[in-house]
Amino acid sequence: MHRLFFLWVLMLTAATARAEPSTILVFGDSISAGYGLTDVAHGWVALLQKKLQQEGYGYQVVNASVSGETTAGGLARLPRALALHHPKVVILELGGNDGLRALPVPAMRANLVSMVQLSRSSGAEVLLLGMRMPPNYGPDYTAQFFTAYTATARDLKVPLVPFLLDGIALTPALMQADDIHPNEQGQPRLLENVWPELKPLLH
């Protein structure tokens, strides 16, 4: 009788574990936090959750994005987020605030590398979302900034969306008045930019 009860508990535990959805951790700044939107349910991260459900992927999306976050701040927060959520996939969207503050690019790249390595060490696959700086930051800085993403992706062999705001940043109808954050009309395009690189990571 005790043996049958023990087997029943094991089967129930296994079934519960299978029922729990895998987690995608979106780890970014205000672009992913939904800054300036009237409802974060219209943000690209929320739209991602809906798309996953519609296409039958059993993933839960956790948005751990913080407005104003830098790569240094993200690196400090990441270990706790990994331990708390145990993600299968980490979507890393940081660096824009480093660029807007003209912080040193080598330090930013080192932080990105460390976050990719931490995520992988926890068992997660990583998708890196790149950004660009406007030309008024100067050709040298803007080139170094862009290269920080492409070089990180190349050296660590992680998939990369080269420019998250591609097709959005230069379209006023898709941007908020600050010319930094996409508005609600721009959110579906953000997801369109992410999805082709994310889909191969979904199992």
Active site annotation includes 32 = no
Residue 6: count of CB within 10 angstroms of its CB? 10
Is 40 domain-assigned?
Answer: yes
- Report whether 70 contacts 101 (CB < 8 A): yes
Task: Note whether residue 3 is domain-resident.
Answer: no
> Which of 29, 98, 181, 203 is flagged as catalytic?
181
Cβ atoms of residues 67 and 178 within 8 Å: no
30 is catalytic: yes
Query: Is 71 within the bounds of a domain?
Result: yes
Helix H or strand E encompassing 63: strand 59-63
Q: 2 in a domain, yes or no? A: no
Domain at 83, CATH number: 3.40.50.1110
Is-contact 65 29, C-beta < 8 A? yes
User: What is the full per-residue pLDDT of the chain (203 aa) written as tens digits?
Assistant: 455 444 444 454 444 444 578 999 999 999 999 999 999 999 999 999 999 999 999 999 999 999 999 999 999 999 999 999 999 999 999 999 999 999 999 999 999 999 999 999 999 999 999 999 999 999 999 999 999 999 999 999 999 999 999 999 999 999 999 999 999 999 999 999 999 999 999 98
Q: Residues 159, 153, 148, 59: is their CA dihedral positive or negative?
A: positive
Domain annotation covers residue 187:
yes
Q: Is the dihedral of CA 169, 170, 174, 179 positive or negative?
A: positive
Q: Is 65 a catalytic residue?
A: no
Q: Is residue 4 part of a domain?
A: no
Q: Closest Cα to residue 26, out of 136, 109, 124? A: 124
Q: Is residue 12 part of a domain?
A: no
Single out the catalytic residue among 22, 29, 30, 67: 30
Contact 25, 81 (CB under 8 A): yes
| Residues in Cβ contact with 80 at an 8 Å cutoff, skipping those fewer than 6 apart | none
Q: What residues make up the domain containing 186?
A: 20-201
Is residue 7 situated within a structural domain?
Answer: no
pLDDT value, residue 203: 81
Question: For residues 58 and 18, is the Cβ–Cβ distance under 8 A?
Answer: no
Q: What is the pLDDT of residue 21?
A: 86
Other beta carbons less than 10 A from residue 143's beta carbon = 14
Number of structural domains found in the chain: 1
39, 42, 178, 179: the catalytic one is 178
Please tell me the distance from the alpha carbon of residue 37 to that of residue 43, in angstroms, as a whole number.
7
